[in-house]
C-alpha cells in the first residue's frame, strides 16, 4: 500500500449505496469539495436533503454496469455483497480506484484512520489487516493531540512564509524552523503552543540563538538532549520525599523528566512522575514483596555503568537521599569513578510524617532541638551506638527514630533507664503522608504495646517529645473530607484532580494511554477507586485493572451515566454523580458516598 493524499476538489466521485455508511463517505468527500453522485434505490433523509440543496446528485435506482465510468473514485457501501462485488469488478476493469466498505478484499485503496487538527491531518493505515488496531491508535491520537495543534499548524504555515520572505539561505532557514519547533512543541507530552509574533520575529532574526530564548523555552529545548543522551553522563541523586507524590521537589521532578534512566527504590516508587516519557529506562532496585533488595554494590555499579553510557540518570531515593538513605555512599562511588553528579535534597519522612500526624517537631519553648536517629543500630552490638542516655536527659527535645518498629521496645527501655519521664508523649507513624498512613499516640512507656495492638509495620518512625502532645489540636489531615482516599483520575481532568487533592485525597493522575511509570505508581500503594468522565476513561482503566493494587472494595465514581453504564457492564461497582456537578459538588458527593459506606460498616478508612 502506498499512501497518498488526494486532491478531490472539483473531481467527480461515485458512492453506491444510500445508508449511514454511504452518508459518512459522502460527507467526507463533500467537505473536501468533491462533486458526488449517489446511486441507490433508496437513500437516508440527510442524503435526500443534500441532493435537494444541490450539494450532491442522487440517482434513485440500482447500480448498472458502466456506472463507474468517468469517476475519479468509486465507493460501494451497500448491504448486498453481490452489488458491492459488481461495483468493484466494474470499476477495476475500467482502471478506476474503488473502495468497498468493510471488505478489504474488494478495495484497490483503503481509507486510513484520520486525526485532524485544522489543516493538519494524520492518516493511519494497516492495509486492511488490523482495522481494530487502526481504530484504537486513532482514538489514542485523538486524545493525545489537543485542539491547539490546529492553531499551531496555522502558525507554522504563517511562520514558514515569513522565513521564506526573509531572504535567508537554506541552512539558516532550517535553523529558524528548528527554533520554532523546539520552542513550541513539548515532545514528551505531545502538546504545542502558538508563539507570539514577537517570538517569531526573534527566531527569524536570530543567528546564534540560545541566549535569546526565555527560560521556559530553554527548558523545553533541553528535552532534546535527553533523547539523544549527554556525552559524559550525569547522575542526580534525588530525594523523592516521604511518599505523597506532591512532596517531590520541583527540581527532582524536572530532573526525572529530563532523564534517560531512572533508578528508584521501592519507597520512592509512589513519587515517580506518571507522565514520565515511556522511553525512559526504569530500574527498580528496592525490596518488594518476596524479593531481596539489589545489593548496594550492584546499585553503585549500575549508576556508574548508565552514566558511562552517556545517560542522564535520576537516582530516586525515599525521603532525603542523605538521611539514612546511603546516598553518601553512592555519591562517593560516583566521585571516585569520575562521574559528575548532583544532589537534589528531598523532604525527609521524619519531619513530614510527623507533620501529617499532627506533630510539629519544634515548638517555641517546648522543643528546641530535633534529633533524627536510626533506631536500628540499637539492635546491633557492633558499630557506633546511639547515646540514648543523653537524649533521655533532655526534656526540651524531639527524638525522631527511623527504622524504629522492631527496635522500639529496646529504645524505650534505654530512654526510661536513662531518666526520661515515662509519661512523655510519644507516637509512631506508619507510611506517613500517604493515603495509607496510620498512627498511634501514647506515652513513652505505653507506646510499644500500642504499636503492637495497632499492628503498625515498617516503614514507620517514632516521635518522642513534648510536642507530640499537640496532636489532638493539630491533626489537620484526618479532618479533610477525602483524607485517606487514594483515587485514580485521568490526567486530563486537571480541575477535578486539584479539587480532590485539596479535599485531602491522594490523587494519581493517570495519563491516557497509561505509561510504564504510571503503572509503577499504580502498584505502589493500594487505591480505593477511580473517578472517570466517560466511557473511554472506563475502557482505559479496565485494561489496567490488574496493574493496580486495590483495597477490597473498589469504586468507580462516574461523572456521566454513559460511564456508569459502561463501568457496571464491565463489572465495576459504579456510583453515578449528578450531571453538570461542579468540582466542589463532586468532592462532596464522593465524601458522602464514603460516609454511607463507613456507616454501613463495609469499609473503614
Ligand atoms: N531517606 C529516607 C529514610 C530512609 S530509611 C528519608 O529521608 O525519609 C527508611 C526508614 O525511613 C523507614 O524504615 C522508616 O522509618 C522511615 N520512613 C520512610 N518513609 C516513611 C514514611 N512515609 N512514614 C514513616 N516512616 C518513613
Q: What CATH number is associated with residue 64?
A: 3.40.50.720
Residue 200 and residue 309 in one domain? no
Q: Is the pLDDT of residue 605 over 50?
A: no
Residue 336 and residue 250 in one domain? yes
Q: Give the residue-averaged pLDDT of 520-532.
A: 94
Residue 375 and residue 424 in one domain? yes
Residue 454 and residue 516 in one domain? no
Answer whether 0.75 is exceeded by the pTM: no
Separation of CA 275 from chain center = 4
Nearest residue (by CA) to ligand 1, atom 6, is 319
Q: Give the residue-averaged pLDDT of 222-248.
A: 76
Across the chain, what does the average pLDDT equal? 89
- Residue where a domain terminates, one of 305, 321, 347: 347
Residue 597 and residue 546 in one domain? yes
**pLDDT score at 291:** 59
The answer to whether position 367 is within a domain reads: yes
For the stretch 149-173, pLDDT in tens is: 988 998 999 999 999 988 888 878 8
8 Å CB contact between 428 and 405: yes
For the stretch 55-73, pLDDT in tens is: 999 999 999 999 999 999 9
Catalytic residue of the set 42, 79, 224, 287:
287
Residue 313 and residue 239 in one domain? yes
pLDDT category of residue 231 using cuts at 50, 70 and 90: low
The answer to whether position 142 is within a domain reads: no
pLDDT category of residue 414 using cuts at 50, 70 and 90: very high
**pLDDT score at 169:** 83
Q: How many helices (H) and strands (E) does the chain have?
A: 21, 24
Catalytic residue of the set 67, 265, 277, 320:
265
The answer to whether position 120 is within a domain reads: no
Residue 200 and residue 275 in one domain? no
The answer to whether position 524 is within a domain reads: yes
List own/partner pairs for 493-501 with CB under 8 A and 24 or more apart.
Answer: 493/531, 493/533, 495/583, 496/531, 496/583, 496/586, 498/583, 499/583, 499/584, 499/586, 499/587, 500/531, 500/586, 500/587, 500/590, 501/246
Q: Please give the tally of structural domains in the chain.
A: 5
**pLDDT score at 548:** 87
Whether 210 is a known active-site residue: answer no
Around ligand 1, the residues with Cβ closer than 6 Å are 242-243, 267, 317-320, 323-325, 348-349, 353, 402-404, 429, 431-433, 458-461
Strand-pairing partners, residue 225, are none
Q: Is the pLDDT of residue 212 over 80?
A: no
pLDDT category of residue 599 using cuts at 50, 70 and 90: low
Whether 413 is a known active-site residue: answer no
The answer to whether position 428 is within a domain reads: yes
8 Å CB contact between 501 and 494: no
Q: Give the residue-averaged pLDDT of 299-313.
A: 94
**pLDDT score at 288:** 53
**What is the DSSP track for 365-392?**
TTB-EEEEEEGGGGG-SSS----HHHHH
- Residue where a domain terminates, one of 347, 370, 393: 347
Range of the domain at 337: 216-347
Q: Compute, in angstroms, the gap from residue 511 CA to the centroid of ligand 1.
A: 28
Residue 452 and residue 423 in one domain? yes
Q: Is the pLDDT of residue 216 over 80?
A: no
Residue 505 and residue 567 in one domain? yes
The answer to whether position 595 is within a domain reads: yes
Residue 324, C-alpha cell as written in the block: 539514612
pLDDT category of residue 341 using cuts at 50, 70 and 90: very high
Least confidently predicted of 17-26, 208-217, 533-542, 566-575: 208-217
The answer to whether position 135 is within a domain reads: no
Q: Is the pLDDT of residue 471 over 60?
A: yes
Q: Compute, in angstroms, the gap from residue 432 CA to the centroid of ligand 1.
A: 9
Residue indicated by cell numbers 455483497: 81
CATH for 258: 3.40.1010.10
Q: Is the pLDDT of residue 215 over 70?
A: no
The answer to whether position 6 is within a domain reads: no
Residue 175 and residue 265 in one domain? no
Residue 323 and residue 372 in one domain? no
CATH for 393: 3.30.950.10
Residue 224, C-alpha cell as written in the block: 532534546
Residue 534 and residue 494 in one domain? yes
For the stretch 353-398, pLDDT in tens is: 999 999 999 999 999 999 999 988 767 777 778 899 999 999 999 9
- Residue where a domain terminates, one of 474, 497, 514: 474
**pLDDT score at 208:** 39
Q: Compute, in angstroms, the gap from residue 348 CA to the centroid of ligand 1.
A: 7
User: Which one, of 343, 320, 346, 345, lies nearest residue 332 by Cα?
Assistant: 343
**pLDDT score at 219:** 39
Amino acid at each position: 500500500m502506498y499512501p497518498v493524499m488526494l486532491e478531490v476538489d472539483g473531481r467527480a466521485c461515485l458512492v453506491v449505496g444510500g445508508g449511514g455508511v454511504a452518508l459518512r463517505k459522502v460527507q467526507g468527500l463533500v467537505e473536501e469539495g468533491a462533486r458526488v453522485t449517489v446511486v441507490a434505490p433508496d437513500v437516508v433523509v440527510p442524503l435526500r436533503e443534500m441532493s435537494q440543496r444541490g450539494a450532491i446528485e442522487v440517482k434513485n435506482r440500482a447500480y448498472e454496469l458502466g456506472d463507474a465510468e468517468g469517476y475519479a473514485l468509486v465507493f460501494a457501501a451497500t448491504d448486498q455483497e453481490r452489488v458491492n462485488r459488481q461495483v468493484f469488478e466494474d470499476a477495476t476493469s475500467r482502471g478506476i480506484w474503488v473502495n468497498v466498505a468493510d471488505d478489504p478484499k474488494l478495495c484497490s485503496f483503503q481509507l486510513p484512520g484520520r486525526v485532524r487538527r485544522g489543516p493538519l491531518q494524520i492518516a493511519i493505515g494497516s492495509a486492511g489487516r488490523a482495522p481494530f488496531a487502526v481504530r484504537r491508535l486513532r482514538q489514542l491520537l485523538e486524545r493525545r493531540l489537543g485542539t491547539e495543534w490546529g492553531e499551531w499548524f496555522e502558525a507554522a504555515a504563517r511562520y514558514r512564509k515569513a522565513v521564506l520572505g526573509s531572504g535567508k539561505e537554506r541552512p539558516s532557514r532550517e535553523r529558524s524552523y528548528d527554533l520554532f519547533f523546539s520552542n513550541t512543541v513539548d515532545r514528551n507530552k505531545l502538546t504545542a503552543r502558538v508563539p507570539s509574533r514577537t517570538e517569531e520575529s526573534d527566531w527569524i532574526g536570530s543567528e546564534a540563538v540560545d541566549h535569546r530564548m526565555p527560560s521556559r523555552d530553554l527548558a523545553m529545548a533541553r528535552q532534546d538532549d535527553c533523547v539523544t543522551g549527554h556525552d559524559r553522563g550525569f547522575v542526580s541523586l534525588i530525594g523523592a520525599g516521604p511518599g505523597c507524590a506532591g512532596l517531590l521537589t520541583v527540581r527532582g521532578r524536572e530532573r526525572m523528566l529530563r532523564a534517560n534512566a531512572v533508578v528508584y527504590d521501592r519507597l520512592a516508587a509512589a513519587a515517580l512522575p506518571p507522565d514520565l516519557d515511556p522511553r525512559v529506562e526504569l530500574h527498580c532496585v528496592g525490596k518488594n514483596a518476596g524479593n531481596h533488595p539489589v545489593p548496594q554494590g550492584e546499585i553503585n555499579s549500575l549508576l556508574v555503568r548508565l552514566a558511562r553510557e552517556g545517560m542522564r540518570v535520576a537516582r530516586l531515593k525515599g525521603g532525603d537521599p542523605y538521611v539514612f538513605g546511603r546516598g553518601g555512599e553512592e555519591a562517593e562511588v560516583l566521585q571516585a569513578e569520575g562521574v559528575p553528579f548532583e544532589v537534589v535534597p528531598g523532604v525527609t519522612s521524619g519531619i513530614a510524617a510527623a507533620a501529617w500526624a499532627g506533630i510539629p517537631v519544634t515548638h517555641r519553648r517546648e522543643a528546641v532541638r530535633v534529633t533524627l536517629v536510626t533506631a536500628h543500630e540499637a539492635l546491633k552490638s557492633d558499630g557506633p551506638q546511639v547515646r540514648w542516655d543523653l537524649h533521655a536527659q533532655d526534656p526540651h527535645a524531639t527524638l525522631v527514630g527511623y527504622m524504629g518498629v522492631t527496635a522500639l521496645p529496646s529504645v524505650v527501655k534505654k530512654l526510661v533507664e536513662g531518666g526520661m519521664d515515662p509519661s512523655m508523649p510519644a507516637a509512631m507513624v506508619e507510611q506517613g503522608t500517604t493515603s495509607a498512613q496510620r498512627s498511634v499516640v501514647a506515652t513513652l512507656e505505653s507506646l510499644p504495646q500500642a504499636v503492637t495492638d495497632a499492628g503498625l509495620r515498617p516503614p514507620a518512625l517514632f516521635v518522642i517529645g513534648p510536642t507530640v502532645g499537640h496532636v489532638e489540636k493539630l491533626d489537620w489531615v484526618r479532618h479533610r473530607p477525602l483524607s485517606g482516599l487514594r483515587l485514580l483520575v485521568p490526567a486530563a481532568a486537571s480541575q477535578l484532580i486539584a479539587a480532590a487533592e485539596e479535599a485531602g485525597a491522594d490523587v494519581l493522575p493517570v495519563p491516557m494511554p497509561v505509561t510504564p511509570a504510571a503503572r509503577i505508581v499504580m502498584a505502589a500503594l493500594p487505591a480505593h477507586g477511580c473517578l472517570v468522565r466517560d466511557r473511554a476513561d472506563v475502557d482505559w482503566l479496565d485494561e489496567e485493572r490488574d496493574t493496580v493494587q486495590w483495597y477490597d472494595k473498589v469504586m468507580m465514581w462516574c461523572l456521566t451515566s454513559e460511564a456508569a453504564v459502561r463501568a457496571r457492564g464491565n463489572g465495576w461497582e459504579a456510583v453515578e454523580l449528578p450531571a453538570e456537578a461542579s468540582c466542589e459538588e463532586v468532592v462532596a458527593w464522593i465524601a458522602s458516598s464514603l460516609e454511607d459506606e463507613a456507616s454501613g460498616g463495609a469499609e473503614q478508612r
